[in-house]
C-alpha cells in the first residue's frame, strides 16, 4: 500500500485510534489505584517502527502525549530494537526520559508481527507511590523523592522479572497497589499488541509505517496551514506564579515564522531546591497542547501535531531544570505553561483563546484506613474553567490536564475520610460578558482514627485566573487545616478529627461584564451562581 487514498486512510486511521482507546479502557479497568481508574492520570499511545507516535487513547493526559515521543526514543536507545524479543516489556520512571517526575511509570512493549517489530505500545500511569518522601513538592534533591528506575526490562518474553517486582515492592508504601498498577500497564500493552496484529492480518499489511507517513503528513499539513494563517511576528507574554517563599516569573516569546512556531522561555526564574522544577520535555508538551487547542483541536494527536513547534529555554531555569533538581510537583509550575502560551496566542487569535482557568489542585494523602489498610491516594479537585468568546466557563473543570475528581462515596470508602461538604462557590467565577466557571469548596475530615500525611500541590493562592478582553479574574485558591491557611505546596499531618478545607478558584471571564446578556445574568442570580451584591458591583445590575 504505497499510495493511500483518502478512503482507505480515514478508515485505517480511525481503526488505530480505536486500538489505543481499547488499550486505555483495559488499563483503567485493571488498575488498582484511584489515580488511574477514577482520575484518568494516564496515557496510552501507539508508535510505528520508526518510533513516531501515531495514535493515542482519547482520554490520555495531554502532557504525557507531548513527552512520549522523546520517551520512546530514549528508552530504545538503552535497549535497541534488535535486542528485543516478543513479549519483552520495558519500563522507566526517570523524569528526564519520561514525564517529568518519578511518580509516572512509562511502560513500553514492542509489537511483533511475523517475527519483526512493527510498532510499539506505550502506557503511562501515575503510580500510587514510589517511595521517598511520597508525592510532594518538598524535596530538596531528587534523591529524596523516591526510587528512580533506569530503563529496565520489566518482562522478558512474557515472564515478569521477579527481582524488579521485589525491589519495587520493598520500596513503596502500598506495594499491592503499586505492583498491581505495573501489572495493569503490562496487561493493557498486551491488549494493544493483540489488536494491532489482528488489524494487520485483516488488511494483509506488513506494518503501519506507510500508513503512519500519511497520518503524520496530513496532521502536520493541517497544523502548518493553521500556523501560516497567523501573521508572522514575535509575541511576548509573562505571568507571575507562586514558588516556595516568593513568587516566580514565567516568560515566553512565541515566534510565528511562516508555517512553524518557536517558543523560548528566556526571562523565566531559575530552578529551586524544591520539587516544583520542570524538565523541558514537560514544558514543551504544554506549548504544543495550547497551540493545538486553538489551531487544530479536531485532529487526532500524533507526532505531526508536534513537529512544527520547537521550544528552547536557558538551562536550569525552572522550565528547563536538570538533575539533580527535584521535580516531584513539576505540574504545579508546568501546568502554567498553558495559560502562559495562551496569553501569547491571545495577541494573535483572541477569539479562540480561553481566559485563564482556576486549574486543579492535588492533595496526596497517605496513612492508614480505619480498617487497617494502607492508604496512598491523590485527591484531585478542580477550579472553574476559563470563559471563551461566546461560551461561559464551565464549573469545576480540570485544566490544562484532565484529572478527574473522585466521587465522594468512593473516596470515603477507600480512605476512611469524610467529605463533609463539596459545594460550588458563589461569585467565584470571573465576571464577564461570558462568565468564568465557578470554583468549589471541599471539606475533608480525617475520620480514619489515624494520623494522615498530606502533601498539597497547588497554585493560584496569590495569582488569580485572569480574564480576557475585559473579563475579570476569578477568585483565589486556599488550603486550610482546621480553618488556618497552610502553604499550597506544603506537607502536613492531619490528626484524627482534623479538617482540611480546599477553596478551588474560579475561572477568568471573557469580555466586559456590562455586556453580559441580561437574561443570563438574571439566571445566574436566580440559581445563586452570582449573588445580588456581586451582580450590582461587577455587572452594574440594576434589579
Partner 1 sequence: MHRIAVDIGGTFTDCVLVDEETGAVTLHKQLTTPDDPSEAVIEGVQALLAAGTVGIEDISALVHGTTLVTNALIERKGSLTGMLVTAGMRDILDIGRERRYDLFDLRLAYPQAVVPRSLRREIPERISFNRTVTQPLDAEAVVAAARDLREQGIEAIAICFLNSFADDAHEQQAARLVRQALPELLVSVSSEVFPYIREYERWTTATMNAYVQPLVDRYISHIDDRLKAIGFGGRFYIMTSGGGMVTPATARRFPIRLLESGPAAGALMSAYHGRVGGIDNLLSFDMGGTTAKGALVRDGRPLRKYELEVARVHEFKAGSGLPAKAPVIDMIEIGAGGGSIAGIDERGVITVGPSSAGAKPGPACYGRGGTEPTLTDANLVLGYYDADSFLGGRMGLDVEAARRSIATRIAEPLGLEVIRSAWGIHEAVNERVASAFRIHASERAFDYRASSMVAFGGSGPTQAVRIAAKLNVPRVVLPPGAGVMSALGLLRSPFSFELARSQRIGVAALDDAAYGEAFGGMERNVREVLADAGLTGKAVSITRRLDMRYQGQGYELEVPAGESPDGLAAAFLDVYRAVFSPIEIDEPVEIVNWKIEAVGPEPMAGQPFRYDRDFSPGAALKGERLAYFPEDGPVLVPVLDRYRLRIGSVVDGPAIIEERESTLVLGFGDRATIDRHLNLVVDVCGVSQQ
Give the residue, chosen from 2, 6, 82, 483, that forms a contact with partner 1 under the rule CB under 8 A: 6
Closest approach of Cβ 353 to partner 1, in Å?
A: 9
* Residues between 328 and 357 with contacts to partner 1, criterion CB under 8 A: 354
CA distances from 542 to 72, 286, 394, 426 (A): 60, 42, 26, 19
- From residue 189, how far is each of 12, 32, 173 by CA, in Å? 20, 16, 26
Q: Min. distance of Cβ 180 from partner 1 in angstroms?
A: 6
Question: Which residue's CB is nearer to partner 1, number 39 or number 269?
Answer: 39
32 Cβ contact list (under 8 Å, min separation 6): 128, 176, 177, 180, 181, 184
Site for partner 1 contains 404 (CB under 8 A): yes
Q: b/e string for 509-521 if b means 16 or more Cβ within 10 A?
A: bbbbbeebeeeeb
Q: Which residues, numbered 444-473, are part of the site for partner 1 (CB under 8 A)?
A: 447
Burial 290-324 (b: 16+ CB within 10 A, else e): bbbbbbbeebbbbbbbbbbbbbebeeebbbbbeee
Q: Write out the binding residues for partner 1, residues 46-75 only, by CB under 8 A.
A: 58-60, 62
* Angle in degrees, CA 292, 332, 40, rounded to 5: 65
Output the smallest distance, CB 322 to partner 1, in A: 29
Shorter beta-carbon distance to partner 1: residue 28 or 200: 28
Considering only 12-20, 134-142, 249-257, 258-266, which stretch makes contact with partner 1 by CB under 8 A?
12-20
How far, rounded to the nearest angstrom, does the alpha carbon of residue 194 sit from its chain's CA centroid?
Answer: 28
13 within 8 A of 88, measured Cβ to Cβ: no
Between 195 and 280, CB nearer to partner 1: 195
H/E segment holding residue 365: strand 360-368
Binding positions for partner 1, 71-110, rule CB under 8 A: none
Q: Give the distance, in angstroms, between the CA of residue 74 and the centroid of all CA atoms in the same chain.
A: 21
> With respect to partner 1, which residue has the nearer C-beta, 10 or 258?
10
> Under a CB-based contact definition with an 8 Å cutoff, are residues 56 and 20 in contact?
yes
Q: Kindly state the smallest distance separating residue 273's Cβ from partner 1, in Å.
A: 33
Cα separation, 337 vs 252, whole angstroms: 9
Q: Check if the beta carbon of residue 361 is closer than 8 Å to that of residue 454.
A: no
Cβ-based nearer residue to partner 1, 26 or 461: 26
- CA distances 176 to 184, 369, 374, 375, 525, Å, are 12, 15, 10, 11, 49
* Alpha carbons within 13 A on the beta-carbon side of 424: 20
Check residue 111 for interaction with partner 1 (CB under 8 A): no
Between 72 and 445, name the residue whose CB sits nearer to partner 1: 445
From 47-55, 271-279, 316-324, 401-409, span contacting partner 1 (CB under 8 A):
401-409
Nearer to partner 1, 64 or 96 (CB): 64
Question: How far is it, in rounded angstroms, from Cα 179 to Cα 164?
Answer: 10
Binder of partner 1 out of 51, 205, 238, 408 (CB under 8 A): 408
Tell me whether residue 282 or residue 325 sits nearer to partner 1 (CB atom): 282
Site string for partner 1, 139-178 (x = CB under 8 A): ---------------------x---------------xx-
- For partner 1, the closer of residues 332 and 424 by Cβ is 424
By CB under 8 A, tell whether 219 contacts partner 1.
Answer: yes
Question: In whole angstroms, how close is the CB of 410 to partner 1 at the nearest point?
Answer: 6
- Per-position x/- string for 236-275, each x denoting binding to partner 1 as judged by CB under 8 A, each - no binding: ----------------------------------------
Residue whose grid cell is 456590562:
514
> Which residues are 233's β-sheet partners?
256
- String marking each residue 177-216 x if it binds partner 1 according to CB under 8 A: x--x--x--xx--xx---x------x--------------
Among 99, 123, 402, 453, binds partner 1 (CB under 8 A): 402
Residues 411-430 that bind partner 1 (CB under 8 A): 412-413, 418-424
- Single out the segment in contact with partner 1 by CB under 8 A; choices: 250-258, 265-273, 285-293, 511-519: 285-293
One residue of 228, 528, 533, 537 binding partner 1 per CB under 8 A: 528
- List binders of partner 1 among 364-383 (CB under 8 A): 370, 380-382
Minimum Å distance from CB 164 to partner 1? 14
Which residues are CB-neighbours of 239 under 8 A, at least 6 positions away? 249, 250, 336, 339, 340, 343, 463, 466
Q: How many residues bind partner 1 (CB under 8 A)?
A: 90
Could you say which of 397, 431, 469, 502 contacts partner 1 (CB under 8 A)? 397
The order of strands in the sheet holding 260-264 is 233-242, 247-257, 260-264, 309-312
Cβ-proximal residues to 109 (8 Å cutoff; 6+ apart), any chain: 88, 89, 90, 120, 121, 122, 186, 189, 190, 192, 193
Amino acid at each position: 500500500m504505497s499510495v493511500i487514498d483518502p478512503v482507505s486512510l480515514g478508515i485505517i486511521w480511525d481503526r488505530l485510534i480505536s486500538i489505543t482507546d481499547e488499550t486505555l479502557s483495559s488499563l483503567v479497568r485493571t488498575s488498582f489505584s484511584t489515580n488511574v481508574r477514577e482520575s484518568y492520570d494516564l496515557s496510552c499511545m501507539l508508535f510505528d517502527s520508526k518510533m513516531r507516535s501515531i495514535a493515542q487513547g482519547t482520554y490520555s493526559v495531554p502532557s504525557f502525549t507531548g513527552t512520549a515521543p522523546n520517551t520512546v526514543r530514549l528508552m530504545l536507545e538503552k535497549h535497541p530494537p534488535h535486542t528485543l524479543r516478543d513479549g519483552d516489556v520495558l519500563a522507566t520512571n526517570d523524569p528526564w526520559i519520561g514525564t517529568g517526575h518519578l511518580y509516572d511509570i512509562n511502560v513500553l512493549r514492542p509489537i511483533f508481527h511475523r517475527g519483526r517489530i512493527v510498532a510499539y505500545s506505550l502506557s503511562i500511569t501515575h503510580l500510587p507511590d514510589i517511595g521517598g518522601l511520597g508525592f510532594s513538592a518538598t524535596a530538596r534533591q531528587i534523591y529524596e523523592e523516591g526510587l528512580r528506575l533506569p530503563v529496565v526490562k520489566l518482562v522478558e518474553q512474557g515472564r515478569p522479572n521477579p527481582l524488579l517486582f521485589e525491589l519495587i515492592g520493598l520500596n513503596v508504601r502500598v506495594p499491592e497497589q503499586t505492583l498491581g498498577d505495573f501489572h495493569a500497564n503490562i496487561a493493557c500493552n498486551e491488549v494493544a499488541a493483540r489488536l494491532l496484529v489482528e488489524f494487520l492480518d485483516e488488511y494483509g499489511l506488513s506494518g503501519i509505517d506507510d500508513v503512519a507517513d500519511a497520518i503524520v503528513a496530513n496532521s502536520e499539513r493541517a497544523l502548518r496551514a493553521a500556523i501560516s494563517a497567523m501573521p508572522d511576528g514575535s509575541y511576548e507574554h509573562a505571568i507571575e506564579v507562586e514558588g516556595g517563599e516568593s513568587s516566580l516569573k514565567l516568560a515566553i516569546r512565541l515566534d510565528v515564522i511562516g508555517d512553524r512556531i518557536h517558543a523560548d522561555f528566556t526571562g523565566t526564574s531559575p530552578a529551586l531546591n524544591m520539587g516544583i522544577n520542570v524538565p523541558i520535555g514537560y514544558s514543551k508538551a504544554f506549548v504544543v497542547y495550547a497551540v493545538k487547542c486553538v489551531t487544530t483541536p479536531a485532529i487526532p494527536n500524533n507526532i505531526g501535531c508536534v513537529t512544527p513547534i520547537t521550544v528552547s529555554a536557558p538551562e536550569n531555569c525552572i522550565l528547563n531544570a536538570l538533575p539533580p533538581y527535584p521535580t516531584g510537583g513539576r505540574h504545579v509550575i508546568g501546568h502554567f505553561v498553558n495559560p502562559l502560551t495562551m496569553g501569547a496566542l491571545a495577541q494573535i487569535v483572541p477569539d479562540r483563546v480561553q481566559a485563564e482557568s482556576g486549574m486543579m489542585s492535588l492533595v496526596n494523602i497517605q496513612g492508614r484506613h480505619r480498617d487497617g489498610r494502607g492508604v496512598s491516594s491523590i485527591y484531585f479537585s478542580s477550579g472553574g474553567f476559563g470563559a471563551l468568546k461566546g461560551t461561559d466557563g464551565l464549573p469545576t473543570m480540570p485544566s490544562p490536564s484532565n484529572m478527574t475528581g473522585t466521587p465522594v462515596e468512593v473516596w470515603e470508602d477507600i480512605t476512611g475520610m469524610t467529605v463533609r461538604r463539596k459545594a460550588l462557590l458563589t461569585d467565584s467565577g470571573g465576571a464577564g460578558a461570558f462568565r468564568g466557571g465557578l470554583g468549589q469548596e471541599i471539606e475533608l475530615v480525617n475520620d480514619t482514627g489515624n494520623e494522615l500525611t498530606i502533601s498539597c500541590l497547588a497554585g493560584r493562592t496569590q495569582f488569580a485566573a485572569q480574564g480576557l478582553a475585559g473579563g475579570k479574574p476569578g477568585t483565589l485558591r486556599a488550603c486550610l487545616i482546621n480553618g488556618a491557611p497552610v502553604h499550597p505546596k506544603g506537607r502536613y499531618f492531619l490528626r484524627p478529627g482534623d479538617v482540611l478545607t480546599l477553596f478551588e478558584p474560579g475561572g477568568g471571564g471573557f469580555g466586559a461584564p456590562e455586556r453580559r446578556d441580561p437574561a443570563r445574568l438574571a439566571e445566574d442570580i436566580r440559581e445563586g451562581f452570582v449573588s445580588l451584591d456581586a451582580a450590582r458591583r461587577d455587572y452594574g445590575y440594576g434589579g
